[in-house]
């Protein structure tokens, strides 16, 4: 719930009547609204865009390589312009990128994605047009997949795809899940420019199933943990390697 999301965050002091829990007093939403922590809506309340930093995936700060992902996603903003139409992959790096987009001054973006967490974050931007690519939801992983997703992607052409991977090596990009592999392949096929966002811990790793060659990537944005040797090898097949 919103109050639990706000509780304990930097700058949130509470309102003196406690957090809403079973058996305790209800929090006065009107007071929170006056303090700028939320905006009242029909039947409840939502976080304002200024509070987007509070609306991240639960536990994202505790996930591995959060600082690296944050640097990568900030660098990725340079490749987005107001009124772009973009496609977002799924995963924790994409969720971090969604937070960066939502906190940015960009206007009028049209965003397609199968990532539930990322789309929830972007929902705080009233001038963004959001399209969730429908399909079966993979329990516990917060993304859609399956035949419906693949069929929908075949009908689109995107200028930019922001892609994630759990592993990349000289042999290409790999993932542990066959269904996810198919979705990523369909996303790449539907996109004019493929921008890979992955922290340096993924380099040299190999997953179960390959979904792309390195040459399928136009831009690779990673963190300063990449070695010179790794960068030089990757640049032989990827046009642009950006170190955030």
Q: What's the pLDDT at 135?
A: 86
Residues 185 and 138 in one domain: yes
**Are 54 and 47 contacting, i.e. CB atoms less than 8 angstroms apart?**
yes
Mean pLDDT of the chain: 82
Task: Convert the pLDDT of each residue in 205-227 to its tens digit.
Answer: 999 999 999 999 999 999 999 99
Band (pLDDT 50/70/90 cuts) for residue 95 is very high
Q: What's the pLDDT at 190?
A: 98
Residues 17 and 129 in one domain: no
Distance CA 230, CA 107 (A): 36
Residues 20 and 140 in one domain: no
Q: Domain of 70: which CATH number?
A: 3.40.50.1360
Task: Convert the pLDDT of each residue in 32-88 to its tens digit.
Answer: 555 555 554 444 555 554 444 333 444 544 466 889 999 999 999 999 999 999 999
- Across 163-178, average pLDDT: 95
Residues 113 and 150 in one domain: yes
Model's pTM, two decimal places?
0.75
Distance CA 82, CA 102 (A): 12
Count of the separate structural domains present in the chain: 2
When comparing pLDDT for 44 and 124, which is higher?
A: 124
Residues 17 and 97 in one domain: no
Domain range for 128: 60-243
When comparing pLDDT for 49 and 123, which is higher?
A: 123
- Which of 25-29, 87-91, 201-205 has the lowest average pLDDT? 25-29
Task: Convert the pLDDT of each residue in 187-199 to its tens digit.
Answer: 999 999 999 999 9
Q: What is the CA radius of gyration of the chain?
A: 19
Among 74, 132, 84, residue whose Cα is nearest residue 104: 74
Q: What's the pLDDT at 15?
A: 41
Task: Convert the pLDDT of each residue in 132-152 to its tens digit.
Answer: 998 889 887 789 999 999 999
When comparing pLDDT for 8 and 215, which is higher?
A: 215
Which pairing describes strands 44-46 and 39-41: parallel, antiparallel, or unpaired? antiparallel
As a residue count, the chain comes to 244
Residues 84 and 19 in one domain: no
Residues 144 and 46 in one domain: no
């Amino acid at each position: 719930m919103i109050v639990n999301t706000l509780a304990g965050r930097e700058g949130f002091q509470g309102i003196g009547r406690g957090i809403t829990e079973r058996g305790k007093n209800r929090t006065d939403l009107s007071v929170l609204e006056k303090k700028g922590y939320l905006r009242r809506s029909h039947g409840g309340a939502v976080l304002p865009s200024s509070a987007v930093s509070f609306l991240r995936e639960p536990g994202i700060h505790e996930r591995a390589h959060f600082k690296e992902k944050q640097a990568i996603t900030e660098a990725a903003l340079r490749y987005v312009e107001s009124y772009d139409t973009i496609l977002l992959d799924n995963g924790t790096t994409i969720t971090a990128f969604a937070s960066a987009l939502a906190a940015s001054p960009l206007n009028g973006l049209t965003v397609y994605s199968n990532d539930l967490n990322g789309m929830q974050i972007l929902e705080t931007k009233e001038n963004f047009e959001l399209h969730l690519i429908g399909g079966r939801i993979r329990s516990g992983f917060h993304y859609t997949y399956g035949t419906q997703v693949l069929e929908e992607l075949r009908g689109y052409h995107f200028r930019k795809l922001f892609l994630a991977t759990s592993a990349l090596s000289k042999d290409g990009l790999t993932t542990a899940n066959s269904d996810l592999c198919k979705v990523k392949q369909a996303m790449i096929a539907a996109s004019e420019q493929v921008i890979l966002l992955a922290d340096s811990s993924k380099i040299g790793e190999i997953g179960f199933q390959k979904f792309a060659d390195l040459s399928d990537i136009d831009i690779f944005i990673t963190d300063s943990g990449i070695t010179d040797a790794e960068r030089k090898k990757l640049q032989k097949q990827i046009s642009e390697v950006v170190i955030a």
